[in-house]
Structure 1
Amino acid sequence: MSSSSLELCPQPARPDHRPREFIPLRGEGGERFDGDAQIQLFLLCAKCKSLEGLLGGYLELAAPLAADPGPPTYEIKEHYPTLGLLRDSFQRGCHLCTVMWDSLMKPGNYAALDSDEGWGGARGGALSIELQLDLPRFILVPLVLSSPSSTTRGCMICIEPASKPVQIERAIPTSAVSTRAVTGDVSFYRRCADICDSSHTRCHVKRIDRLPTRLLHVEAVPDGTGAGTAHRVQLVSAENLPADAKYAALSYCWGEQHGLRLTESNYQDLTADIPYGQLPATIQDSVAVTTALGLQYIWVDALCIVQDSPGDWSREASKMCDVYQGCSVALAASGAPGSGDGLFAVRDPLRQVPCRLLGTMHARSWNSLVESPWALETRGWAIQEQLLPARSVRFGSYLVWECRELIMNEFWVEERPEPKAQPYNGLPIELYPLVLEPRRSDPVNLSGVRDLWYRILTRYSRTSLSVKGDKLVAIAGLGSAFERRTGWRLVHGLWEPFIIQDLLWRRSDGGHCDPTGLRPSWSWASQHGDLSFSTYFVLIVRTYVAECVGIRPFGNSRAELISPAAMELNGVMCRTREAEKPHESPHMKHLRGDNFNVKYLRAEGWPAAILLMASYDRDDRPWTDGDMILPLSVTVSPDWWPRAEGLLVVPTIDPTAFERVGAFDVRVLAKQNSREREDAERFLEALARGGGEPLVRQRILLI
């Protein structure tokens, strides 16, 4: 069955936005647009209809060869003679041309193709398609030829057989779809909740038995006109509720202005009644969704924590893990940058739904997998709010249901995690069997749990915090869940049983960090920015050449040199000097270069074949004469390149204490079986054994 023709069914106007951009329904953009516009999916222009027929012919020819289709083949097909014609077809509502247009939009900035900036005049170029036949799927790559020697390539478009989860009876809608995200029609999340209630087992195992301290009681009531519904909201104490009361929990961005919040002065008033009209739009919408889901209670931080009471805030913040892990469903205002924007959006359905071809194939641009995150996904506090609930509804430019067994968008398309494009998708599904489901007495999947923690931290490091000092407290709920599962103890963000390994965090290649003002310097929480937590700790057998003797508070007569935790280490330290960047021969391609702010150093007394690659926590920090290295691990194995890793440290104003300023690793530059390489390997083996000049072990205090 082929798709319908655009010429036979003209489309109404659609919102003009980036593929994942959130345009609030309540905002100016939503008011300007006809919220009742109905967009027909899968309509194709004449050019794309011809392309669909071509693909169908290839499938027919390949049918007898299904068991052995052979290697992929490539062809180049002409499409539109100019990008302007592609844009016109996209604007008229051709679904496949919309996918092609989006594949040409540059990830990260989505530069308009109407402008020459960044495109080298490509807008006047002819559009062709590189077609790869890798049956049973196809790969399309739009090509814009702006001159005989200049071609702009779009992102890959995958066309593959549609998959449908066995739990879902519905398919992608074939009728018209509204340009506004579902509001009054709650069939999507009610249907997902019904599926989850009737067929999922993992989503209903609760390890949290206590309710939050306070909740909002919500109910829908007649608005007095007989034509609509109003909502009554009241602050209640959980002490007066049944222990098995079910509640929703809101996860959202406050924005610059929040509006009504709970304070010591209005506490009693809000226990009597909370004026619905005074609530920010996002909370109003959340109240409506809560009642639509058949729930009577919702937890909202601004109204369930006394905002001007540091004591209450501290107590309730420590319970975040229980609040979100214990909720019946989390409502995530993923797209809204502020509390005044509401949950719902206007959008172009053609940019959200894969284009169906030949009745059974779906076309989707790789750009759709690497798009910019929604606003809430960039907020540090929201990481644990996303990972801990058993069930969530995400409200962005489209709606997504996510539970421990299913991730589905409102178009009934499964949102499959794509490791290469979004390496941190699917974390809630992984967190449950590794951390939340097992009892503490069950064996711990050591490598799985540690790998998951490092991946969560990597994602967390790329989010923002309005208060940088919240770096540890904003993820404390997740830390508590891991502690309960494993019995390990977090020490300033590092796991005590693996604290030497955990010291080896570093600024990501090309990343930028700013100090948070938190101590100790050896904790990743001291830096705000893109950090790397290597997961290969759990894969490589290493020899750790430093030993943690103990951790204690530190302070001296100078108030500016105080640390809540000083780590006493038994190890070696060596002075450093600057080195020139080596010649980058083919076997050195793996070395990081100047573009990543790596500084090359030599260590005093180390063989000349060993080069240190230093990554300072501050990317603009120069090497100084006092910089020293503190090796932590060594690997000398026939299966791995010889290497060592450790910290860059500097002395403080207290001669007994040192601070971390970065991390380093080493590479042996000598060729295999050369004398220089043998000397370097013998040196690293001696370092691993921990003896001999110049490797004199000493007590080191790291603050």
Structure 2
Amino acid sequence: MSSSRDRGSNQAEFPIKSSTMSPTSLCPTCIACLSHHQGLQTLENSPGSLMFFHHFQSQTLQDSATANCPICRPLWLQLEPLQSKIPYKASDKQPLTFLLLQPPESFGVERSYELAAYLNDEATTVDGMEHGSVLIFLLQDRRDLEKHYSSTNTSTSTGSREAWETALRWLQKCNSEHSECFVPEEPSWYPTRLLDIGSNASDPVKVVTTADFQPKGGYVTLSHRWGDAAIVKLTKSSAPNLRSGIPLSTLPLSFQQAAEVARRLQKQHIWIDSLCIFQDEDDKSDWLREAALMDKVYSNTFLNIAATRAEDSSQGLFVFRDPDYELKQIEIPCSTTLTDSREPGPAQDFIMSNILFLEHELMGAPLNRRGWVLQERLLSPRVLHFGSGQLFWECRRGVLCERFPDSLPDFMARLTSTKFKSFDMANRKSNKPGMMISEVPQGKNSDLVIFHLWSNVVRAYSETQLTFKSDKAIALSGIAKVMRNTFKDEYVAGLWRRCLEAQLLWSVDGTRQADFRPSTRSFPYRAPTWSWLSVDGKINPGRCLRDGLCAEVLELDLKYRNEDTTGLIVDGSLKLKGRLRRLQVQTLFVPVEEGVNVDMPGMWMLTVGGTDLESSREGLKPWERIAIVLELDIPHVDFHESNRLQELFIMSMGGPWGTSDDPFTNGDVSPWHDMLLLKCVDKKDGVFHRFGLAKLNTEDKPDVWSLVQAYDADEAELPCATYDAETHSHTIILK
């Protein structure tokens, strides 16, 4: 699978060479903009804000980034992946733009300014998504940040003794003060196999089976990206050599350096997926068995070592860095006012912080974009991340880094998920604190709270990527097992049985994946169409409610690859009872002049029971009459053939939604009524596939709501498993 207290401070320095770095300072273009207002533009609608044109050419931006300009460098790192898609070239009409304005109240800071960098051009639309705001900095008064900067580290490597001493302080404090992160020195459970690395760098490393001997002192784990690099794997053919021992130097650099970290902790055993699970393509029995144990592997690790910045295992853990850029306060001069003659006011010194620092450096790092790694991060009590320029510490108490070794600035804690490992249930609107699974209160709201935790997991997981799409279900199974024990409910292909009807109402955000590619449905088979596991896309999870439902799941049937009911699915169906109505879906055409209609791609007209679902209210423009919002699972160009074959249907599921008991909606009630979009694949037996979700705002379009509730004269003839004339309901098989 693709992740796949200080007792050693007297050991030698990590084996990494020193490096000379250039000093950190603003480039001439940034100084000209911020101190002298070069390129100042008029902002008629934003009094008190300032706008400047910045770099006009990608090459000059890249040159400033290479020179370590603290503004241009992170800007370039954000723009570089888009260079092939955004035509950012030399042009006086396409510059980068700075906006200097007062930050919103949600930042929770005073005496500060927001510095936003934008691509000032229509070409910022890539794959249908806006890429306008590239990066946001916060300029703060020194007095508001001094307490957070206690780093005196001047080392030029994340493998240095100074970096290691910082990591040890984090570990010691976590071990002694964080009861929620506690791992016994001698765990009660060990993985099936471990890698014995010996006590010296010259010792051979060998794969050992824990059933054959009693390991002592616990173990550490490694999270890494396999990538395209050649990698040593445990197979039937390589097993004899790996059991007898091989030189550490024959392993990938990330493995070698992870072994060095383990030795510094005086841990002799490390678990690495590729070396502790048989990887034979023609025999997946061991892989399936071990994959079902991932919750135990990571829950019992003393420390999870993460090669967070590395694209593959050949790149190692340790990197050179410029400590002035990565670790120190970045002080910049900036004029925030204009005189009456529109000259820049006196410049002030501000401390500049990248607001999205954690999002870019940790959450969006190469390793953390991988699907398998989500459960490794969540289930490990603590993780030491080796990032692109510094170390990050992540435990159930929160996140720290070498730049902020003792505490994060308040604004960063407010704007970023800094308690990821506790599923960060902070309600930022009401400033409610985070909550861990173990802290969920018991009572009538406990299901809602746990479900919100699960929803956060689903959203995060759906934004990751998998090398093998078939791993979608099993790469989440470890977290599912932990949640199942807490939820006390049956896990059903990414959903939960107790509120399964409302759980079916998930949707795909914009029919796209996290990397902006269109969403896709899995092939070969991975999960039934009613499960979000069947789709590669950004998922908005369903609900956890029983009130307001008008459909019912009568039976459920899931078949798995083995005995693990959170793992690989080979077949699945459910019997769903509700009101079925015939549906046609057509692209919306809007009249622009007499006899001329223009189609509106992505906007659909729904016809149910022969009646168009559009509002009859006066004064509405043609596109405003559309009452139904379609959230398709995957993009569709048209539905002509399905309309001709009369194979599309709609089933009302329920709504409006909401409850005054829900602590995360503040008692708000959603006016939306949700309906499943269905395609009949077997009219004789009443078998259907899901292809999306339809939503109707019953408050905004009450006249359309009456159309949805109407009865059809031919409803008894619709394809289904059974029909109940008394309740006008159909039982269908949804696969």
TM bin (shorter chain): 0.7 to 0.9
Q: State how far apart, in whole Å, the 2-side matches of 1:81 and 1:492 are.
A: 49
Q: 1:617 aligns with which of 633, 656, 659?
A: 633
User: What is the aligned length?
Assistant: 608
621 and 101 in structure 1: CA distance in 2 versus 1, 3 angstrom threshold: same
660 and 131 in structure 1: CA distance in 2 versus 1, 3 angstrom threshold: same
Q: State how far apart, in whole Å, the 1-side matches of 2:227 and 2:55 are.
A: 45
* Counterpart residue number, 2:167: 189
Instruction: Name the amino acid aligned to 2:368.
Output: E
* Counterpart residue number, 2:239: 267
Q: State how far apart, in whole Å, the 1-side matches of 2:577 and 2:146 are.
A: 55
Instruction: Name the amino acid aligned to 2:554.
Output: V
Q: CA deviation at 1:483?
A: 0.9
Q: State how far apart, in whole Å, the 1-side matches of 2:244 and 2:401 are.
A: 38
Q: CA deviation at 1:666?
A: 3.1
Deviations 1:550-582 (CA, angstroms, capped at 9, x unpaired): 11369xxxxxxx972220121111111235638
Q: Secondary structure at the match of 2:258?
A: helix
* Counterpart residue number, 2:421: 428
Deviations 1:19-67 (CA, angstroms, capped at 9, x unpaired): xxxxxxxxxxxxxx985114555x567998899999xxxxxxxxxxxxx
* Counterpart residue number, 1:37: 20
91 and 565 in structure 1: CA distance in 2 versus 1, 3 angstrom threshold: closer
Q: CA deviation at 1:318?
A: 0.5
48 and 262 in structure 1: CA distance in 2 versus 1, 3 angstrom threshold: closer
Q: State how far apart, in whole Å, the 2-side matches of 1:47 and 1:120 are.
A: 15
240 and 193 in structure 1: CA distance in 2 versus 1, 3 angstrom threshold: farther
Q: State how far apart, in whole Å, the 2-side matches of 1:553 and 1:329 are.
A: 36
Whether contact under 8 Å (2:231, 2:251) holds in the other structure is: yes
Q: CA deviation at 1:425?
A: 5.6
Q: State how far apart, in whole Å, the 2-side matches of 1:118 and 1:333 are.
A: 32
Q: State how far apart, in whole Å, the 2-side matches of 1:565 and 1:77 are.
A: 56
Q: State how far apart, in whole Å, the 1-side matches of 2:443 and 2:697 are.
A: 43
Q: Secondary structure at the match of 2:499?
A: helix
* Counterpart residue number, 2:303: 329
* Counterpart residue number, 1:571: 578
Q: CA deviation at 1:90?
A: 5.6
Q: Secondary structure at the match of 1:575?
A: strand
Whether contact under 8 Å (1:220, 1:232) holds in the other structure is: no
Mapping 1:335-350, distance limit 5 Å: 335-349=309-323
Instruction: Name the amino acid aligned to 1:604.
Output: G
Instruction: Name the amino acid aligned to 1:204.
Output: F
Whether contact under 8 Å (2:139, 2:352) holds in the other structure is: yes
Q: 2:399 aligns with which of 394, 407, 419?
A: 407
* Counterpart residue number, 2:692: 663
* Counterpart residue number, 1:476: 477
Determine if the alignment matches structure 1 residue 501 to structure 2 residue 509: no
* Counterpart residue number, 1:633: 654
Whether contact under 8 Å (1:401, 1:407) holds in the other structure is: yes
Q: State how far apart, in whole Å, the 1-side matches of 2:402 and 2:291 are.
A: 32
Mapping 1:107-186, distance limit 5 Å: 107=79, 109=81, 111=83, 117-119=87-89, 121-122=91-92, 130=100, 132=102, 135-141=110-116, 155-160=135-140, 171-173=150-152, 176-178=154-156, 180-183=157-160, 186=164
Q: CA deviation at 1:635?
A: 1.6
Q: CA deviation at 1:91?
A: 5.0
Q: CA deviation at 1:606?
A: 6.3
Q: CA deviation at 1:603?
A: 1.5
Q: State how far apart, in whole Å, the 1-side matches of 2:172 and 2:80 are.
A: 37
140 and 329 in structure 1: CA distance in 2 versus 1, 3 angstrom threshold: same
Deviations 1:383-407 (CA, angstroms, capped at 9, x unpaired): 1011110110112203211111131
Q: Secondary structure at the match of 2:460?
A: helix
Mapping 1:94-113, distance limit 5 Å: 97-100=69-72, 102-103=74-75, 107=79, 109=81, 111=83
Q: 1:363 aligns with which of 338, 352, 362?
A: 352
Q: 2:604 aligns with which of 588, 599, 609?
A: 599
Q: Secondary structure at the match of 2:526?
A: coil
Q: State how far apart, in whole Å, the 1-side matches of 2:377 and 2:307 are.
A: 11
Q: State how far apart, in whole Å, the 2-side matches of 1:108 and 1:548 are.
A: 49
Q: State how far apart, in whole Å, the 2-side matches of 1:188 and 1:385 are.
A: 23
Q: State how far apart, in whole Å, the 1-side matches of 2:410 and 2:477 are.
A: 26
Percent identity over the alignment is: 21
355 and 461 in structure 1: CA distance in 2 versus 1, 3 angstrom threshold: same
Q: State how far apart, in whole Å, the 2-side matches of 1:204 and 1:100 are.
A: 42
Structure 1, gaps ≥5 residues long: 1-32, 55-71, 147-151, 222-228, 555-561, 585-592
415 and 248 in structure 1: CA distance in 2 versus 1, 3 angstrom threshold: farther
Mapping 1:438-457, distance limit 5 Å: 445-457=446-458
* Counterpart residue number, 1:27: none
Q: Secondary structure at the match of 1:219?
A: coil
Q: 1:645 aligns with which of 667, 674, 678?
A: 674
Whether contact under 8 Å (2:371, 2:466) holds in the other structure is: yes
Q: CA deviation at 1:287?
A: 0.6
Mapping 1:500-519, distance limit 5 Å: 500-511=501-512, 512-516=519-523, 517-519=525-527
Q: 1:550 aligns with which of 531, 543, 555?
A: 555
Whether contact under 8 Å (1:609, 1:668) holds in the other structure is: no
* Counterpart residue number, 2:194: 215
* Counterpart residue number, 2:258: 286
Determine if the alignment matches structure 1 residue 380 to structure 2 residue 380: no
Q: State how far apart, in whole Å, the 2-side matches of 1:369 and 1:119 are.
A: 29
Q: State how far apart, in whole Å, the 2-side matches of 1:658 and 1:420 are.
A: 49
214 and 165 in structure 1: CA distance in 2 versus 1, 3 angstrom threshold: farther
Q: State how far apart, in whole Å, the 1-side matches of 2:657 and 2:195 are.
A: 60
Deviations 1:108-131 (CA, angstroms, capped at 9, x unpaired): 73549xx99325614997987735
* Counterpart residue number, 1:69: none
Q: State how far apart, in whole Å, the 2-side matches of 1:244 and 1:473 are.
A: 30
Whether contact under 8 Å (2:358, 2:416) holds in the other structure is: no
* Counterpart residue number, 2:622: none
Whether contact under 8 Å (1:614, 1:664) holds in the other structure is: yes
Stretch deviating more after TM superposition (465-474 or 646-655): 646-655
* Counterpart residue number, 1:557: none
Structure 2, gaps ≥5 residues long: 1-15, 37-45, 104-108, 122-131, 333-347, 426-433, 513-518, 560-568, 592-598, 616-626, 660-667, 716-722
321 and 208 in structure 1: CA distance in 2 versus 1, 3 angstrom threshold: farther
Q: State how far apart, in whole Å, the 1-side matches of 2:250 and 2:97 are.
A: 53
Q: State how far apart, in whole Å, the 2-side matches of 1:514 and 1:667 are.
A: 25
* Counterpart residue number, 1:310: 284
TM-score by length of 1: 0.73
601 and 360 in structure 1: CA distance in 2 versus 1, 3 angstrom threshold: same
Q: State how far apart, in whole Å, the 1-side matches of 2:207 and 2:490 are.
A: 36
Determine if the alignment matches structure 1 residue 697 to structure 2 residue 729: yes
TM-score by length of 2: 0.70
Q: State how far apart, in whole Å, the 2-side matches of 1:666 and 1:127 are.
A: 38
Q: CA deviation at 1:100?
A: 4.8
